[in-house]
Amino acid sequence: MKNLFKIFSLVILFTGSCLTSYSAEKVEYLKTDWSFKGLFGKFDRGALQRGYQVYTEVCSSCHSMKYVSYRNLAEKGGPEFTEAQAKAIAASFEVKDGPNADGEMFTRPGKLSDKFVMPYENVKAAQAANGGAYPPDMSVLVKARGGGVDYIYSLLQGYEDPPAGFILDDGVYYNKFMYGNKIKMSNQLSDGLVEYADGTNATVEQMSKDVTTFLMWTAEPHLEARHQMGFKAIVYLIILTILVYFSMKRIWSRVETKV
């Protein structure tokens, strides 16, 4: 019994020390108001369109989005570009297709049914172009990282000079929100880097929020429909509860109590 108690005490102490060290290393992410949060949350269409622009002009040279098609840009619940705009966006990219009648591959303008064009032919080519690091696909990146949108939003703004004594290898940068504070991707954003079509001031903070909103949509394209379904389910349950309550009250009103 004493041995069992000792083992139990050691487990408690070990667990407590792990939780303490974890909480000590945990970084508080930057906060912002996300329009898609909450039961009634919806995507900001302007933010989605601006976020797509940031992805295209800044991120797409390294990061792929292999699960997103150009037609998705015009679908309800997303950026909601017009069909003509989505077709024009798709046609602005060259897509490898084939083989043709001669057995050869060829390139053609993109179509709505095409997936987003990949920046590299394969993983090895991506690693060779990025010093051995593989730029992750961004389709579901928000869901693949702990901290979600807050983490991505903070990471994009977390570049700064390393503290004294902090050693970085060549091609590695300091980011206070990155796990271990070391990241191989250099700071990609600077004020005025893109010129927004709607005239919004393209600050680092604004671009970070817009592209993170876009990444949230690519990870959860049906978020708005899910929120609407959840709201309808709650209303249905409330009505059902009221009906059951009055039905039970009516049934029990017929039962005579015995004193």
Cα–Cα distance, 187 to 102 (Å, whole number)? 45
CA distances to 10, 59, 182, 208 from 156, rounded to whole Å, are: 41, 11, 13, 6
Quote the strand ranges of the chain, DSSP E.
94-97, 106-109, 173-174, 182-183
Give me the mean pLDDT over the 74-83 stretch.
95
> In 3-state terms, what secondary structure has residue 136?
coil
In terms of pLDDT, which residue wins out, 251 or 49? 49
Q: 233: pLDDT confidence band, cut at 50, 70 and 90?
A: confident
Rounded to 5 degrees, what are φ and ψ at 135? -65, 120
Which DSSP symbol is given to 192? T
Say which residues have a Cβ less than 8 Å from residue 2's Cβ, sequence separation at least 6: none
Quick one: angle between helices 45-54 and 204-219, nearest 10? 100
Give me the mean pLDDT over the 133-141 stretch.
93
> In 3-state terms, what secondary structure has residue 42?
coil
Cα–Cα distance, 115 to 92 (Å, whole number)? 13
Quick one: pLDDT at residue 32? 95
pTM over 0.85: no
Say which residues have a Cβ less than 8 Å from residue 208's Cβ, sequence separation at least 6: 153, 156, 157, 189
Quick one: pLDDT at residue 79? 96
pLDDT in tens, 22-36: 433 567 999 999 999
**Candidate from 121-135, 154-168, 225-239 with smallest mean pLDDT:** 225-239
Closest CA to 212 of 155, 174, 146: 155
